Structure 1
Amino acid sequence: MSLYRKKTGNKKNVDSIKSIDYKIDTLKNYMNNSKDVRDRRFKVGGKNVNIAIIFIDNLVDEYMVQDHIIKPIMSNSFEWPLSNDPDTILEIIKDYMLYGDVIEEVYTNNEMAMGILDGKTLLFIEGSDKGLIINTQDLPKRSIDEPQTEPSVKGPNEGFCESLKDNLALIRKRVKNPKLCVDIINIGKETNNNAALIYIKGTVNDKIAKEVKKKLISVKDYDIVSCEQLLQLISDRPFSIFPLMHWTERPDKAVSSLLEGKVGVIFDNSRGMLLAPVTLTCLMQSPDDYYEKWFIGSVITAIRYVSLLITVFLPALYIAITSFHPGMLPTTLLISITGARLGVPLPAFFEALIMVITLEILQEAGIRLPKVVGQTVSIIGGLVIGQASVQAGLISPIMVIIISLTAISSFAIPNYSLSLAARVLRVAFMILAAILGAFGISLGILYLLGYMCSLKSFGIGFMEPITPYRFKDWKDSIVILPPSVLKGRPEYLHSTSDTKRKERSKNGK
């Protein structure tokens, strides 16, 4: 419902009831007479013209409302040669009296209500068919803090917060480039939140940018409240166990990805940024890889890949060897394991399953509890339960070692979503090992590799640059080489600038 009826093709309104009391009552009724919607009425000095402002308490800066709107109008209107025409008065107020940085003209209930709900102030004048929306936002927000899920030893401690405006500022502060493009898309029928599509023109692959924008527009009617929900809606394979967009709360990591030619998405009221496309090698990288010497970064990266293999396959290998292939072990080690398992009533699979479930419960409890006691409960709980289980003869000591090493390895994976996927795969391979032994593990590995190679993130293979084989991109994926060698952008992204450079070289220019 509109406050006024419009002429076809023109924003001027006809048959409007121009009483300021009627306007305020109508707008408040449109907003269900919410008690936090406040109004302030006053007169223009020297003229018998009523003015009103409407805003939502706690969403605006009251100092700005008083000093940037009310005070300039009331103090300057005595001296200004005002016209008797309300529209002319409104134009004079807009052009010469208001200090607001963003002022928009609005005509309908919906435009006015959306401006007020966004933390802005609406200004009415009696006799005029339109209103002014003035930016007076002072939205509640958290200060910029250290990243919680991606800590860094030497890197900057700035992390994204829940304010879209502040997050964009963190990106702009690091990329002082006029080619940095920001496209705002409104998402949600009821929530009406904004998503910012970010990329560097001339660096990004235009096909990827258009595809991401198309996906964002396709979910405009979904009421979502976080970028994590948005990720599930716009991913190519929403049921994939692996993340097909990279979530980060580090501005330095986000900027590095934008410079490579990737696309970023920031959703209002979320403390992270989505990056697309994503590959397995991207998920295994950490900012500290680039803040240390290149050879140290390469060794740390290799350790992460080993940790990923350990956390997925170690319990399954133990089950397969002890249950089906004990002959693969040296005699001394086999005697030691057999002696440790004497008196244990459960098969190796159920023994491992109980320990894995217990570990997951402790990890979940540590996350949900307050930080002051969360880590203590996780550590003490693991020690007490493990020791008690061994003394009671329910679990063998070697199994406690296996599961502990598996848990520690999972913490070395830098991406939390990939770590969760590895924990699920761990159980799947344990089941295969308990049924078919090493043969089951081999079948599972073949299927997993085929599945990972079939995944695509906005047209880019999840296993790039490992397969298809791109050795030039290994310098910043499998290993970390010195900055002097890291020139150009990853070939698998098919960056626009790299494509133009190749065309020029082919033409001899």
Structure 2
Amino acid sequence: MLGLPSPPIEEEPLQKDLARNIETLKKIFADCSDIVYRNIQVAQGQDAILFYIEGIVFAQEIEAQMLKPLIIGYVENEDGDSIESPQNTRVSLLQASKATTWGDIITAVINSCVVLLIEGTAEAHIFNVRGGLRRGVEEPQTESVIRGPKEGFTETLRLNTALIRFKLKTPKLKMVNFVIGEETKTDIVLSYIEGLVDPKQLRDVTKRLKDIKIDGILESGYIEELIEDHPYSPFPQMQYTERPDTVAAQLLEGAFAIVVDGTPFVLIGPVSLWQLMQASEDYYERFFISNFVRLLRYFFVLIAIFLPGLYIAVVTFHQDMLPSRLILSIAAAREAVPFPVLVEALMMEVAFEALREAGIRLPKTVGQAVSILGALVIGQAAVEAGIVSAPMVIIVSLTGIASFTIPRFNLAIAVRLLRFPFMIMAGIFGLFGIVITFVWILVHLSQLTSFGRPYLEGVSPYYKKNQKDVFIRMPWWKMIHRPQGTTKENNKRMEKGINGTPKPEKGW
């Protein structure tokens, strides 16, 4: 009818005229130099065209599994007639489908498929030849371990889901696909184990993913910020990891995982503060070794948060808390320093953070040397110049080393940020300021949730069963149940008494 707007080209159907289809195709992909058009003849001299995006498909498979079979001819049936559908030819590709609209064709092409158009037919044949140059499986760069699997996720979505499948060989492991991003059309997979995940949390995260409306998703960090409970909190409410074994372990405890195409970092939720303090190697070494390392880790976290503030408070307001010889030594070291302790500490902390950032951004061959030597040279020069005192250099160095013991980088960043409020409050109010800041953070953590689950779960609210894996880890033969609060159904991991407490053989 006159006056009605024409439908968008994505909704228009294909034509039987191959020339018109090619014209429409070149109009859609105008100025796209990476689109490859290959004119061929199939069957009884019918004209056809193959088109795909170069670089994101396996060119060798197109040549061997598609071009040769199509050019040689169709398989004939018992009556000697050619079979019409290319899917019934010698094309030996597993994933094949049909499309009748341009929208389906566009989606297929940008998702690494090869499309075949044939003269006289108003449908396209789509073959999945996804490939291209992508990084293979390597050891994780951000979560290296001495004992444990050495394989890590890559930027390929299906390779990442396969690595999870290798760990969890059960049909209860579900992989639900989403496509998010108006321009990027990024494939995202929500993974969970049926019967272990909380149905309420599963419905919640599914709704949050479906509600995302954005032009593009380039990394899992986009998803994390768009679906977390408290976006203004410095504390991470999701865990990200490069390790398939970490994902498998969390799925077995009723969590869910979000795998994003194009990044090796998989998101895990919900999480608690105690989970972010745990390393995968804690569960591979013997329990008393793991417990020593874990308690050491908690001790150094306290140092990373409180040490600069305590030094500032004691030196500024509470000198009588230190032994006379120590306070005289500190006073002698600070005699030539023209700045108050707070200013001195802020200068050193900012310089240390700048050196750490420079070491990360510079090339690997020089980055580590710059960060270490820079800290030593600048610290020594600052002490000799009388800008800062030697005790302050020691305090800042200990604080920086302590922050490196935190196994999760996003939690370590939060601890480094919170160090500054402690220092400022200590410089203004002394120990009273430290107490005020600590109570404020504690109240904030008590109110924090991760997909409705309390951030301090296990301690607040207190669950007796969870104490087997919070500050220390009990032996595996003691951890019969999954953590309380993660999954209400099927919370038993192993039958009590099957292996029992290990006992030596008689005669030993």
CA distance in 1, matches of 2:154, 2:370: 28
Residue of structure 1 in register with 2:144 after alignment: 151
Structure 2 unaligned spans of 5+: 1-6, 495-508
Residue of structure 2 in register with 1:251 after alignment: 244
Sort the Cα spacing of 1:2 and 1:51 in 2 relative to 1 into closer, same or farther, 3 A.
Answer: farther
Post-superposition shift, 1:140? 2.3
CA distance in 1, matches of 2:99, 2:133: 25
Match 1:381 to one of 374, 386, 391:
374
Comparing 198-207 and 488-497, the one that deviates more: 488-497
Post-superposition shift, 1:332? 2.0
Taking the TM superposition and a 5 Å limit, the aligned residue runs for 1:165-204 are 165-204=158-197
Match 2:47 to one of 32, 47, 50:
50
CA distance in 2, matches of 1:456, 1:4: 42
CA distance in 2, matches of 1:198, 1:184: 9
Contact 1:106–1:130 (CA<8 Å) still a contact in 2?
A: yes
Structure 1 unaligned spans of 5+: 7-12, 502-509
CA distance in 2, matches of 1:383, 1:367: 17
Residue of structure 1 in register with 2:262 after alignment: 269
Post-superposition shift, 1:498? 3.0
CA distance in 1, matches of 2:260, 2:80: 44
Residue of structure 2 in register with 1:126 after alignment: 119
Post-superposition shift, 1:209? 1.4
Taking the TM superposition and a 5 Å limit, the aligned residue runs for 1:413-452 are 413-452=406-445
Match 1:73 to one of 70, 75, 78:
70
Comparing 99-108 and 360-369, the one that deviates more: 99-108
Contact 1:20–1:125 (CA<8 Å) still a contact in 2?
A: yes
Q: Deviations over 1:307-335 (max 9, x none)?
A: 11111110000000110111111222212
CA distance in 2, matches of 1:3, 1:227: 31
CA distance in 2, matches of 1:127, 1:345: 88
The answer as to 2:234 corresponding to 1:241 is: yes
CA distance in 1, matches of 2:323, 2:152: 50
Moved over 4 A (4+): 1-6, 78-84
The answer as to 2:56 corresponding to 1:59 is: yes
Q: Deviations over 1:41-97 (max 9, x none)?
A: 22224x24212111111121112111211211222437556769xxx71x3x21343
Post-superposition shift, 1:383? 0.5
Post-superposition shift, 1:255? 0.7
CA distance in 2, matches of 1:266, 1:487: 29
CA distance in 1, matches of 2:464, 2:330: 43
Sequence identity of aligned pairs in percent?
38
Contact 2:40–2:47 (CA<8 Å) still a contact in 1?
A: yes
Post-superposition shift, 1:481? 1.1
The answer as to 2:336 corresponding to 1:343 is: yes
Q: Which has the higher helix share?
A: 1
Q: Deviations over 1:257-295 (max 9, x none)?
A: 011110000100011110000111000000111121101
Sort the Cα spacing of 1:394 and 1:98 in 2 relative to 1 into closer, same or farther, 3 A.
Answer: same
Number of aligned residue pairs:
487
Residue of structure 2 in register with 1:407 after alignment: 400
Sort the Cα spacing of 1:498 and 1:292 in 2 relative to 1 into closer, same or farther, 3 A.
Answer: closer
TM-score, scaled relative to structure 2 = 0.92
Taking the TM superposition and a 5 Å limit, the aligned residue runs for 1:1-400 are 17-45=15-43, 47-77=44-74, 79=76, 89=84, 91=85, 93-400=86-393
Post-superposition shift, 1:139? 2.7
Q: Deviations over 1:387-416 (max 9, x none)?
A: 111111111111011000000000000010
RMSD: 1.9
CA distance in 2, matches of 1:379, 1:125: 64
Secondary structure of 2:50's match? strand
Secondary structure of 1:162's match? coil
Residue of structure 1 in register with 2:499 after alignment: none
CA distance in 2, matches of 1:303, 1:200: 33
TM-score, scaled relative to structure 1 = 0.92
Residue of structure 2 in register with 1:463 after alignment: 456
- AA aligned opposite 2:128: N
